[in-house]
Structure 1
Amino acid sequence: MIIFTSRYDYDGSKKFLNLYEKFPVQVIELKNFDYVSCKSYIENQLIFSPSEDTVRFIFERTEGNPFYVEQFSIYLLENDFIKNENGKNVISKEIKNIPSTISSIIIARIDRLNAELKSLVEKSSVIGYEVENEVLKRVVDVSDFEEGIEKITRENILLKINEIKLIFKHSLIKDTVYNMILKKKLKEYHLIVGEVMEKLFINDEERFKDIAFHYEKGENFEKAKIFYRKSGDYSHKKFRFSDGLNFYKKALNYAFDFSEKLSIRINFLRMEMLLGMWIDAKKDYEQILNEIVDYPENELKAEILKDYGDLLFQMGFYEECEKYLDKSYEIFVRFKDKEKIADILSIKGQILWRKNEYKKAMENVEKILEIVDENSDPETYANAFLTKGNIAKDMGDYDESVKNYEVVLKVAKKNNLLLTLNAVYGNLGLINWMKGDYEKALSYYLENEKIMKDVNSKTPLSYLYGNLGALYYSLKDYTKAEDYFSKQLKISRELNDRKSIRIVLNNLGGIANIKGDYVAESEFYKESLKIAEDLGDRKGKRTVLSNLGQLYGLLGDFDVSVSYLKESVEIAKQIDDKMGIALNKYYLSQTYFINNLFELSLKHVEEALSLLEEIKLKQYYYHSLLLKGEILLKMGDFENGLKLLDEGIEF
């Protein structure tokens, strides 16, 4: 059984969770007490045998709010406003100047405590809603800590969850007490809590954000900066990129040395890149590059040049990207930084891979493996074999691809490289999906799911949903496919991961096509196109234009279809995307064929075949053979047409 609690929304409406339809859900709405319920609660929990007038008085003053009923009743008892007459507890005297709000009641109750207990409650409120005994014990100065805790819990201010943790009876008590503390004392308390937490949790990275918060409130900004930065590093490691972005931003507020600020800004920009905030990151990098024109050519400058080159690579600006990578490479060579040299070679290898220059890409990977080994840099070593596997996969050599991925699995498991492990399971799932072994593909995606439990992040979960959507799409279970793509879109929008949003919109366009909802399909593609243009993602733009071209071909709008496909071809040529050129030539050939323009159709399919043979994309190569066979039959060349059809069908 899972229990969720929630307040009403700002507009007074109830919040509901969209759970799987087979899960039974019971909603319990906690409303204010009616008079009968209020009387029962007071009689059984607060003031035994109250008179009718006493109950009526409390009910009217509190309007039946359960928490207010409790606090108001305790206030009356503590201030001797209740006395027993003839077996009934009645209001004992004329009541004047009773606090009119729940906050005032709480303040009055806290003010009645002795100095030690009041200090204990105040310091608890500084620690937080949940209070760890080990922290509180080191923060307070009381004669008998255990006795103090017992008294406070008897006062119904804090409750014991277990032997190691307390919790405030209500968040309003915690907030009211916190707001009572003078500013100077509040700063002092936060500083003490920060120092205590640092000693207790110095090896617990999950708690660095709490340490940073208390140091910030205690105005030890140097320590706040250190722990916010460490929190950012930890968030990055755990895939929590939005958190990382916020922590680095906070750290920047307290960094004043130029080089240190640059170093933190690099990490901040990496979070922007990982969240798909490419345009923002590009503007920020360009600003930094202007600031460091006269900066010494050290490793920090090389790092900025490398990262900017990596961003341009992601955006599809390959030529411009290589200029920055080359400059960065020169500096790292001068400093003999093998790890960074290998990083740059890795990006260059991926450029060659995306441009379908597989031989050169493989040569680049071999250079990396000459520089690093499994012991010196296991992550770069594993990623080199990951790239080798990707190249073999794209060349259709699945056995060689799996062989390389197995090396990655071994190294990643041994060194707990969760990012790399997540990527290789995804790629093994993809290979089995491409081979049609959907059951095995699913088994690898389930391994991805196990990793999600360790990294506790939405980003890889979003990728997993995308993979599962593609898998069920192939199984022709379009309902499940749409469900997973919709889940991916929801998470991607929450994270503002615009690159993932663009990709999943494209996939949802494919689902709309299957359903025959061409209006929705067009809307999905056009939103995806807008994001690709905003990001400067030329490869993404090429893909969406290609899909729009096919859609308008299906709708019989020949001119619009050809226009989109030709634009897609031009972008593919600009980024030297041979697969993109080949596929769009194939789609153009289809469009011309449907419109009985057989000469043009033949010209484009032959160009497609030439490129597909060069890059060894077998599946589309044989699709193109079948199309060429049909064209030749239409043109009267029956002998060659039938020969090509036989060859394509045999495959």
Structure 2
Amino acid sequence: MTDVVFVDRENEIETILMHLESAKKGEGRILLLGGEAGIGKTSLMEEVKRMLAEDEVIVAEGRCVLGGGAVPYAPFTEIIDVIGEKHTPMPIREEKIGGAPLGLLGVSSAGAEGGIALLGMGEDEERKARMEDLSRERGQVFGEIVSYIRNASQTTPLMLIIEDMQWIDESSAQLLIHISHEIGEMRCLIIGAYRVEEVEENSPAYKLIESLSSARSVYLMELKGLSKEDVKKLIEEMTGIEAPPENFVEIMYRRSGGNPTFVKEALRALLEDGLARTPWDVEALERLAMPKTVREVIGRKIKKLPNACIKVLKYASIVGEDVDYEVLRRIVNMDEDDLLDALDTLLEEGILAESEAEDDEDVYVFTNFQTRAVIYNGISRSRRRITHRKIGEVMENLYSSDMEKWVYHIARHFYMGRDYEKALKYSIAAARRAKSVYAIEDAIQYYKWALRSMEKLGRKGEDMLTVLLELGNMYSMTARWEEAIPYYTRVIEGAMEGYPRYEAIARIRLGDTYRQMSMWEKAEENLDKGLEISERINDKSLMAEAERMLGYIHWRKGEYKDAVEHYMRSIGYAKEAKDEHVIGVNYIDLGNVYSDLGDDEKAIRYYNMSLEILEKFKDYAQIARAYNNLGDKAMKRGDWERAVEYFKKCEETAKKIGSMDMIAWAEFNTAEALARWGRLDDALKHCRRSIDILSRIGDTLGLGAAHRNMGLIYRYMKKWESAEDNFEKAVKILRDIGSPYIYADTLYEYSLLYLDTERHDKAFELAREAKKIFESLGATDYVRKIEDIIKDAKGCSNKQQSRVTGA
């Protein structure tokens, strides 16, 4: 029986080649190729590569790892290696390991031996860790990778293929989003192939596809099942027999759903394995009871192998995706000749393949990741646990001089093997390394393994507090505030036993988390306690941090004098601590105060001063805030185009670090600018996206502002009922959280809706309430505007007044 690897797909090939031609002209793009397992994504890519064999194109592939918990940036590491072999643009960083750029891998050239101690053990180290800005460093690494790819594509066009993107790790997903912002000007086509049925909601792949689906230079293609005619053609080509019986084709088509891998494996089971009495034994086909997925077909194939091969596959599946021969030899407990014979058989069967990487001469890989999953899940938990521990011990001995490269794997095996002492040691090392390259989700996983290991071992003290603090920080920076709170709370409880500095840090971080959630009372309570402890231990950096956040709360509450006093004290402490970065952030906050007071010139000056400082630190989170607020000032001037440009910069900057809250704020502010510009349909799309994000992350203040803008959009559309519904939602949210400035502005916009619909009494009521609040805040410009509305009420003025939604 012929092993046909490809049939049909002419339209899909034409589409891919069309995108590649555009990329060659400098109009790079990303193509997201979805389809169920076995539908032919890999075969399609192989056919395209075959057609490009003589073309002037560098093709590089990288594969994502099952479970997402192995090595951050795994697909890009492979891709960069291939590019480096075929082309030599300016390197990302001088240091290299295994041909992969050190900056991408996040490896310290100083080595890792002795470098796996917990963070925060000493005051200086903790201060340094706190001062390091995650967004800055990750942005630098991402920028270097983009430059690397751009430089390579200038000489030779690139086609980069990411296989099994449904398993993409969070770090690779963020990197791909970053690349998407720049790819439109590169000679590069990136194809991300993924199994649609394995993209779980809220997984990195799900969020990535959702983020990229509406982006420019990104295209979607879903690979459907073969038609019945194509299933018939595949059967003919594999068997060499024309015109198979229609009933056989019909049953095969129905059972396979047009999945080509399913068809091929079913034919092999029926014909090669002797399950059918005749070539077209329909009864045998029906008795085969093929499942919907390919997994059980693979399981049937595995059972046909010799026992020695099955034994080798079981151990190999526990080792992982890449199976080092020396590790396998040491754990499999077989005569070496028998082991080599079994490996040869598995190579012949196409279940394993030898790694093509130059430095992996004795490494085997599974040709089908689902094969490994079927085998692994068929092993008892006890045997898996014992084997994981044994593998960890073998790797620890083998790779003691190259620990940076293998620490992720070693941590996993010791944790899965329940050797909690070693799991703790290596999980901390893996978490630190993942954090250093902003693989945040991976860092969270390893810190959780470290925490569980400590709990199993009964460990407490500074080590426990440090891990808890790191987990809180990881969740907070990704706007998962509800998940951050329990970790900070545990630090506070544990720190009361003689660790005041940890309590101060946790109080301040917890206060900041409540601040992000617009829970002002809880935020202020924790920040006050954190400040009190910081003053007692005389930590100027913590004092500056607490003072600034207290200033923010007073600003949101409309207490401008108190806000300025806190900001100025924060700046003073920051100067004593020689922390220019905190000074830059304070400039944004001071700009917000003067913006509310109507001194736009002063506000803009502070925003620009902050950008000058923060750009030196590559602090993308705060840079995004500054751009957002500059956009707000442009909107107030009626310069809608300039406003949209600033909000776009805000969103693009926020996407570099995955700051979902700032992405959402940029979206709803863009919506308002577009609405006032007259582009209502576009405005509606932006506002809906922002509400979806804000609802998911729990940003109550932002959600209120977004509903306010949705009401404004529907008002311009003259959809009065929808406008009123959204204004009511906004008023309720903003009144409850106590943010008077935005609340008053929302009442003002709401009053215009009632003027439009000639409900003058209601309009007067809302306008008077808004005027009263603005008078108490000293916002004289807005008081005058509301007075004009009240005077012109009979004329139902439709003036388009802007408001401020600074971040």
The alignment's TM-score, normalised by the length of structure 1, stands at 0.67
Partner of residue 506, structure 1:
708
Partner of residue 41, structure 1:
234
Mapped pair 1:516 → 2:714:
no
Question: What do the CA deviations read for 1:92-137 (whole angstroms, capped 9, x no partner)?
Answer: 9x999x9755656533432444567545544554466xx34xx645
Partner of residue 4, structure 1:
33
Quote the offset at 1:487 in angstroms. 1.9
- Number of aligned residue pairs: 572
Does the CA-based 8 Å contact 1:117-1:152 persist in structure 2? yes
SS in 2 for 1:29: coil
Partner of residue 86, structure 2:
none
Question: What do the CA deviations read for 1:358-413 (whole angstroms, capped 9, x no partner)?
Answer: 45544433333333359943432321222233334334444443443344323333
Mapped pair 1:71 → 2:265:
yes
Mapped pair 1:187 → 2:385:
yes
Partner of residue 527, structure 2:
325
Quote the offset at 1:295 in angstroms. 4.4
Quote the offset at 1:239 in angstroms. 9.3
Gaps in structure 2 of 5+ consecutive residues: 1-18, 20-30, 37-195, 199-205, 331-335, 796-807
* CA distance in 2: counterparts of 1:236 and 1:550, whole angstroms: 49
* CA distance in 2: counterparts of 1:305 and 1:23, whole angstroms: 43
AA aligned to 2:619 is L
Quote the offset at 1:67 in angstroms. 2.7
Quote the offset at 1:342 in angstroms. 0.7
* CA distance in 2: counterparts of 1:467 and 1:235, whole angstroms: 34
Q: Higher Cα Rg: structure 1 or 2?
A: 1
Relative distance call for 1:68 and 1:159 in structure 2 (3 A) is: farther
Relative distance call for 1:314 and 1:266 in structure 2 (3 A) is: same
* CA distance in 2: counterparts of 1:630 and 1:215, whole angstroms: 75
Partner of residue 468, structure 1:
670
Partner of residue 620, structure 1:
782
Partner of residue 653, structure 2:
451
Does the CA-based 8 Å contact 1:228-1:248 persist in structure 2? yes
Quote the offset at 1:61 in angstroms. 11
| Identity %, equivalent residues | 20
Question: What do the CA deviations read for 1:140-185 (whole angstroms, capped 9, x no partner)?
Answer: 3396999988864542435789648987555543332222223233
Q: RMSD over aligned Cα, in angstroms? A: 5.5
Relative distance call for 1:441 and 1:158 in structure 2 (3 A) is: farther
Relative distance call for 1:5 and 1:484 in structure 2 (3 A) is: same
Quote the offset at 1:4 in angstroms. 2.5
User: For residues 80-99 of structure 1, what are the structure 2 equivalents within 5 Å?
Assistant: none
Quote the offset at 1:553 in angstroms. 6.5
Quote the offset at 1:424 in angstroms. 2.0
* CA distance in 2: counterparts of 1:55 and 1:199, whole angstroms: 61
Does the CA-based 8 Å contact 2:518-2:701 persist in structure 1? no
Relative distance call for 1:275 and 1:523 in structure 2 (3 A) is: farther
* CA distance in 1: counterparts of 2:346 and 2:534, whole angstroms: 61
SS in 2 for 1:454: helix
Does the CA-based 8 Å contact 2:647-2:670 persist in structure 1? yes
Mapped pair 1:492 → 2:694:
yes
Quote the offset at 1:415 in angstroms. 2.3
Relative distance call for 1:323 and 1:170 in structure 2 (3 A) is: closer
Does the CA-based 8 Å contact 2:731-2:746 persist in structure 1? yes
Relative distance call for 1:6 and 1:412 in structure 2 (3 A) is: same
Segment drifting more, 323-332 vs 110-119: 110-119
Relative distance call for 1:415 and 1:171 in structure 2 (3 A) is: same
Relative distance call for 1:501 and 1:401 in structure 2 (3 A) is: closer
SS in 2 for 1:30: coil
Question: What do the CA deviations read for 1:582-617 (whole angstroms, capped 9, x no partner)?
Answer: xx64646xxxxxxxxxxxxxxx6xx96x657xx4x4
Question: What do the CA deviations read for 1:51-109 (whole angstroms, capped 9, x no partner)?
Answer: 969995996699455333322444467657899xxxxx9699x999x975565653343
Partner of residue 346, structure 1:
548
SS in 1 for 2:329: coil
* CA distance in 2: counterparts of 1:329 and 1:444, whole angstroms: 35
Q: Relative contact order (alpha carbons < 8 A, sep ≥ 6): 1 or 2 greater?
A: 2
SS in 2 for 1:5: strand
Quote the offset at 1:427 in angstroms. 2.3
SS in 2 for 1:140: helix
* CA distance in 2: counterparts of 1:61 and 1:361, whole angstroms: 70
Mapped pair 1:218 → 2:417:
yes
User: For residues 521-540 of structure 1, what are the structure 2 equivalents within 5 Å?
Assistant: 521-528=723-730
Does the CA-based 8 Å contact 1:238-1:455 persist in structure 2? no
* CA distance in 2: counterparts of 1:80 and 1:348, whole angstroms: 77
User: For residues 140-219 of structure 1, what are the structure 2 equivalents within 5 Å?
Assistant: 140-141=328-329, 152=346, 154-157=348-351, 163=357, 172-191=370-389, 215-219=414-418
Does the CA-based 8 Å contact 1:275-1:496 persist in structure 2? no
Partner of residue 7, structure 2:
none
* CA distance in 2: counterparts of 1:149 and 1:448, whole angstroms: 54
- Which of 566, 569, 574 pairs up with 1:364? 566
Mapped pair 1:29 → 2:227:
no
Relative distance call for 1:80 and 1:558 in structure 2 (3 A) is: closer
Partner of residue 110, structure 1:
302
Quote the offset at 1:298 in angstroms. 0.9
AA aligned to 1:365 is Y
* CA distance in 2: counterparts of 1:560 and 1:622, whole angstroms: 19
* CA distance in 2: counterparts of 1:276 and 1:200, whole angstroms: 38
Partner of residue 44, structure 2:
none
Partner of residue 380, structure 1:
582
* CA distance in 2: counterparts of 1:285 and 1:540, whole angstroms: 32
Relative distance call for 1:208 and 1:332 in structure 2 (3 A) is: farther
Does the CA-based 8 Å contact 1:238-1:457 persist in structure 2? no
Relative distance call for 1:420 and 1:78 in structure 2 (3 A) is: same
* CA distance in 2: counterparts of 1:117 and 1:318, whole angstroms: 63
Segment drifting more, 450-459 vs 174-183: 450-459
SS in 1 for 2:546: helix
Question: What do the CA deviations read for 1:521-548 (whole angstroms, capped 9, x no partner)?
Answer: 2322344456558878787766666665
Does the CA-based 8 Å contact 1:508-1:521 persist in structure 2? yes
- Which of 612, 616, 620 pairs up with 1:414? 616
Question: What do the CA deviations read for 1:169-208 (whole angstroms, capped 9, x no partner)?
Answer: 555433322222232332245456778599899768xx99
AA aligned to 1:435 is R
Segment drifting more, 403-412 vs 534-543: 534-543
* CA distance in 2: counterparts of 1:531 and 1:275, whole angstroms: 23
AA aligned to 1:390 is N
* CA distance in 1: counterparts of 2:743 and 2:444, whole angstroms: 27
SS in 2 for 1:372: helix
SS in 2 for 1:306: helix
Partner of residue 640, structure 1:
none
Does the CA-based 8 Å contact 1:506-1:544 persist in structure 2? yes
* CA distance in 2: counterparts of 1:237 and 1:621, whole angstroms: 50
SS in 2 for 1:181: coil
Partner of residue 202, structure 2:
none
SS in 2 for 1:4: strand
